[in-house]
Amino acid sequence: MSEKNVSHTKWMKRAIFLASLGKNTTSPNPKVGAVILDKHGTLISEGFHHKAGMPHAELMAFNNLKKDAKEGSMYVNLEPCCHHGKTPPCVDKVISSGIKKVYISIEDPDKRVSGKGIKQLKEAGIKVHLGLCKKEALDLNKAFIHRNITKKAFGVLKWAMSIDGRIALKNGKSKWITNEESRLLVHSFRAEFDAIIIGGNTLRRDNPLLTTRGSKNPEPLRVIFTKSLDLPSKSNLWDCNKAKTLIIYDSSTANEDNLKRIPKSVEVEKVSSDNPVLISKILAKRGCNKVLWECGPRLATAAIKYNCIQEIITFIAPKILGGENSMNPLSDFEFKEMNEIIKLHDSQFSLIGNDICVKSSFKN
């Protein structure tokens, strides 16, 4: 790599780093960072998108300018927008600034606008270089890209299990399998998500809180998927002061009389079947890029079967629950041959005290 390319990569990596600072707050928008150099190649400004409704990264960088950007260059990890949304088009601002070169990692995944921002920049006589640090940029915004392309939320399935692969005793008791450090990590890790999903049975058995314990404001939306609507009249999830709760129920099987038990502060939406894709679609439509499935084996298996899951995070504790009838993290996929089994990819391992955390991806 030539010295020039190294410095282009350095500036784009800086833009990607800045973008990552908006990690938990930009949904439904992407994470974007921008760097501006003057005509001599000196850094004169930078910025990132903080939150939906607030200025885009390019505008933040222009607002922070220390010197004239005329004949300078910009590094931005996503194609600048050319449409009027909550904020004016960034392309207009880039053109009027007199910037001569724009380095962009990836095009906007939204097919309606993809390439149009680049076209406008080129038509204004600006040199555009596309593809710098493409892999890192795709990875940073994988959930946003997934939602835009599939119209479904990017799903991560999480479970905690013993070393013999069990998530609960036969009687349903599961507190606690992993150590305190792992459980605290789960609370803060929830902040990466726009929604957390469980099934009705986990609600009945565990009565969870499903919050980040304050590391995100607003807290992720808590979602319960139920076929029966047989939900308790008292539950931690009915207190919506700290976090909002949404019940999604299958109207083909649910007893709607049970809705009387649910407080008005809880939102309710009905769907026509128990297909978990319907949840992914509803949440994507609400602007959720990334959702966490913290459900038990039955809903988790259905979510995998219907491609609602893109990553799995497993916490494994050095404990033995034993017993043929203690609970598995997943139920039956009815595989008959070993070539039918699901192979996961890109696994990463970390140690949390005595527990192991494994993160793997599905190849969709």
* Cα gap 199→65, rounded to integer Å: 50
Of the candidates 205, 206, 202, 209, the one whose C-alpha atom is nearest the C-alpha of residue 225 is 202
Least Cβ distance, residue 206 to ligand NAP (angstroms):
5
Smallest distance from ligand NAP to CB 230, Å: 5
| 168 binding ligand NAP? (CB under 6 A) | yes
Which one, of 184, 191, 197, lies nearest residue 155 by Cα? 197
User: Are the C-beta atoms of residues 144 and 110 closer than 8 Å to each other?
Assistant: no
Binding ligand NAP (rule: CB under 6 A), the pick from 91, 225, 237, 290 is 225
Total binding residues toward ligand NAP, as defined by CB under 6 A: 29
Nearest by Cα to 312 from 351, 280, 277, 357? 357
**Looking at 3, 46, 58, 334, which residue is catalytic?**
58
Q: To the nearest whole angstrom, how small is the minimum distance from the Cβ of residue 156 to ligand NAP?
A: 13
Residue with Cβ nearer ligand NAP (131 or 318) = 318
What does the alpha-carbon distance between residue 299 and residue 202 come to, in Å, rounded to a whole number? 10
Bridge pairing between strands 221-226 and 245-250: parallel
Cross-strand bridge partners of residue 313: 158, 359
Residues 198-217 that bind ligand NAP (CB under 6 A): 198-202, 205-206
Block residue for tokens 């707050």: 25
Contact 134, 107 (CB under 8 A): no
In degrees, rounded to 5, the angle at the alpha carbon of residue 66 between the alpha carbons of residues 63 and 67 is 110
Identify the CA nearest to 43 among candidates 18, 5, 73, 71.
Answer: 73
Q: How far is the CB of 71 from ligand NAP (least distance, A)?
A: 56
> Which residues in 108-167 contact ligand NAP (CB under 6 A)?
159-160, 167
294 annotated active-site = no
Helices assigned H by DSSP within 22-171: 57-63, 90-97, 116-123, 134-140, 142-150
Q: Is 105 a residue that touches ligand NAP (CB under 6 A)?
A: no
| Closer Cβ to ligand NAP, 158 or 290, answer by number | 158
226 lies in the binding site for ligand NAP (CB under 6 A) = yes
Q: Give, as ranges, the residues between 263 and 322 that touch ligand NAP (CB under 6 A).
A: 274, 276, 294-299, 302
The phi and psi torsions of 156 (rounded to 5 degrees) equal -120, 125
For ligand NAP, which residue of 227, 281, 319, 359 counts as binding (CB under 6 A)?
Answer: 227
Q: Which stretch binds ligand NAP (CB under 6 A): 132-140, 220-228, 318-326, 341-349?
A: 220-228
- Interface stretch with ligand NAP, choices 36-44, 53-61, 97-105, 168-176 (CB under 6 A): 168-176
**Residue numbers annotated as active site:** 58
Residues that bind ligand NAP (CB under 6 A): 159-160, 167-168, 172, 174, 177, 198-202, 205-206, 225-228, 230, 274, 276, 294-299, 302, 327
